[in-house]
Amino acid sequence: MAAGRKHGPAAISIPIMIEIQAVTQRFGSVEAVRNVDLSIRKGEVFGIIGRSGAGKSTLVRTLNLLNRPTSGRILLDGQDLTALSAQQLREARRGIGMIFQHFNLLSSRTVYDNIALPLELAGKSKAEIAQKVEPLLELVGLSALKDRYPAQISGGQKQRVGIARALANDPKVLLSDEATSALDPETTRSILELLRKINQELGLTIVLITHQMEVIKVICDRVAVMEAGQVIEQGEVLDVFRQPKHEVTRALIGDVIAHELPKGVVERLRARLAKAEAENDATKGTDHLFRFAFTGSGVDQPHLSEAVRRYSLDFNILHGQIDEIQGQAFGSLAILANGTQENINNAMQYLRSQGVVVEELNHVI
C-alpha cells in the first residue's frame, strides 16, 4: 500500500512553508498589495511574476515583515509572524534569507567577510564562522576569490556572494527579488542553475520574484502572476504556459514563447483571406487559424499529421517553436488549417482528445 493511502486520499496534504493570508499593504492612498492569498509549498521554487509596479517587491517584503502588512497574516512554517514580539521576530527572520537585484554587499569587506557577516551578527565564534563559510564558498564556487573585495569581482560573482551570505544562517526559505535582473543572459542562467542546485541539494524553499518569464520558465515549479497588487493567475508553470488565462500572462509568456503572430504573417494572412473571399470558390474549403499548445508526449507523437490524414485537411505552419519547461517538452504552433467546417471541427476535437490545447486565433486577423 502506498504510504499516503492509509488515511484515504482526503488526508494527503502537501506541506506548506509559507501561507500568505488575505495580505493587504497600503502606502497612504496606494494599495500596493490587495488581499493576496498564496500557499508556498515546502521545497518548491515558487515564482511571482508581474510587470513593474505590480506589487511584487512589496509582497515579498511582507514575507519577512520588512513591510508589516496593513492587514492579513504571514505564516512561516506554521508560525504567525505578524503575532511575534520584536525579539521573536528577529529570531524568526534568521529562517529567511534574501537576495537582491543590486547584491547589497559591503564594499569594505572581502567576499569571505561579507558571507561571514550574518554569523558575526548572530554572535558565532571565529571557528564556527570558518566552519560555515568555507563550505558555502565551495557551494557557490568562490573559494579561490574569498579574499577579493566586491569591486574586484563580476556581477555574477557578487550575486554568488549574496547567495552564500543569505544561506549562512541555514534559512528555511530563500527570497529572491529580481536577483538576476542586473545580469546578462549567460550569467543569469548560471545563477539560476546555482539556485536550482541549492533548492535540490539543501531542499530549500525558494520564492523568486521576477518580471521575466524566461526566469520562471527555467527554474520555477509553480508561478503566481501579479497585476495591480493582486494575484490574477497561478498554477504549475507548464499549465500556465499551456493555457494562460489572463491577458497579462499571455503578454509575459509572449516574451519567451512564439505566442503572438509576427506582423508580417498577419498581413500575408489578411491578404490571403481577402483573396479567398473575392474568389468565393466553395471547393477550396475555408481557412481557420489556430494555436496549438502541447506538452510531454504530445510533442513526440504525430498527432498533427494524424489529424491531417484523418480529416483531409491542409495544415500550414505559420509560426511556432518547441521548447523545454521543467524538463518537459513544450510546443506552441500557429497553424492555418484548410478544410470543410465539419472536418475542421472533427480534427480539433480529435486533437483536444489527445491533450492538445487548441485555440482559435481568427480574432487576430
Ligand X SMILES: Nc1ncnc2c1ncn2[C@@H]1O[C@H](COP(=O)(O)OP(=O)(O)O)[C@@H](O)[C@H]1O
The residue ranges that bind ligand X (CB under 6 A) are 27, 30, 32, 50, 52-58
Q: Which lies closer to ligand X via its Cβ, residue 216 or residue 356?
A: 216
Shortest distance, position 50 Cβ to Mg ion, whole Å: 9
Window 276-335: residues binding Mg ion (CB under 5 A): none
Least Å distance between CB 178 and Mg ion?
6
Q: Cβ 22 to ligand X, closest distance in Å?
A: 18
The residue among 96 and 356 lying less far from Mg ion, judged by its C-beta, is 96
Q: Which residues contact 3 (CB under 8 A, 6 or more apart)?
A: none
Phi and psi at residue 197, to the nearest 5°: -60, -45
Residue type for 241, please? F
CB of 353 to ligand X, least distance (A): 40
Q: Which three cell numbers stand for residue 267?
A: 498581413
Going by C-beta distance under 8 Å and a sequence separation of 6 or more, which residues neighbour residue 275? none
Subset of residues 39 to 58 that bind Mg ion, contact rule: CB under 5 A? 57
Grid cell for residue 98 = 534574501
Give CA angle at 292 (328, 318), nearest 5°.
115
| Rounded-to-integer distance, Cα 133 and Cα 127, Å | 10
Q: Which does 353 bind (CB under 5 to 8 A by kind): Mg ion, ligand X, none?
A: none
**Contact letters (x/-) for Mg ion, 5-44, by CB under 5 A?**
----------------------------------------
Pick between residue 18 and residue 266 the one whose CB is nearest to ligand X. Answer: 18
> Are the CB atoms for 97 and 166 separated by under 8 Å?
yes
- Set of cell numbers at residue 355: 491533450
Give the residue with the Cβ less far from ligand X, 227 or 287: 227
244 binding partner (options Mg ion, ligand X, none; Cβ < 5 to 8 Å by kind) = none
Provide the grid cell at 357. 490545447
In the complex with ligand X, the residue whose CB is nearer, 48 or 313, is: 48
DSSP designation for 261: P
Minimum Å distance from CB 103 to ligand X?
17
Residue 54 binding result from ligand X, Mg ion, none, given CB thresholds of 5 to 8 Å by partner type:
ligand X
162 binds, among ligand X, Mg ion, none (CB under 5 to 8 A by kind): none
- Residue ranges of E strands in 136-229: 173-177, 205-210, 222-227
- Judged by beta carbon, residue 32 or residue 348, the one nearer ligand X is 32
d(CA 127, CA 134): 11
Q: Which does 50 bind (CB under 5 to 8 A by kind): Mg ion, ligand X, none?
A: ligand X
Q: Rule CB under 5 A: say whether 210 interacts with Mg ion.
A: no
CB of 54 to Mg ion, least distance (A): 8
Q: How far is the CB of 56 from ligand X (least distance, A)?
A: 3
For residue 190, give the C-alpha cell: 548560471
67 is a contact residue toward Mg ion (CB under 5 A): no
Strands of the sheet with 357-360, listed across from one edge: 314-325, 328-339, 286-295, 357-360
Percent helix, percent strand, percent coil in the chain, to nearest 5 = 45, 30, 30
Host H or E run for residue 300 = helix 297-300
Q: Which is nearer to ligand X, 53 or 235 (CB)?
A: 53
**What are the backbone angles phi and psi of residue 65, rounded to the nearest 5°?**
60, 25
Binding site for Mg ion (CB under 5 A): 57
